[in-house]
Amino acid sequence: MSETAETVKKNKKINKMTLSEVEEALKKSQEHMKNLNSKYTKTLLARKTQLTGA
């Protein structure tokens, strides 16, 4: 069982994501939805500001 953590855990809770993971999720979300109005993206943006301290 030498699978990487990425293949083992597909969905990760937003409050456990690192800054790079949040930015990647935001980029994917923007590509698919073409905007940042969903609850998911608003939560990601809140997490990003929390991590950056701004």
List C-alpha distances in Å: 23 to 17, 51, 54.
10, 11, 15
12-40 burial code (b ≥16 CB/10 A, e <16): eeeeebeeeebeebbeebeeeeeeeeeee
Low-confidence ranges of the chain (pLDDT < 70): 1-9, 54
CA 47 to CA 38: how far, in whole Å?
14
pTM: 0.74
- pLDDT at position 12, please? 87
CB-based contact 29:40 (threshold 8 Å): yes
- pLDDT at position 49, please? 96
- pLDDT at position 53, please? 87
Residue 38 corresponds to which tokens in the numbers above? 């969903």
- pLDDT at position 4, please? 57
- pLDDT at position 5, please? 53
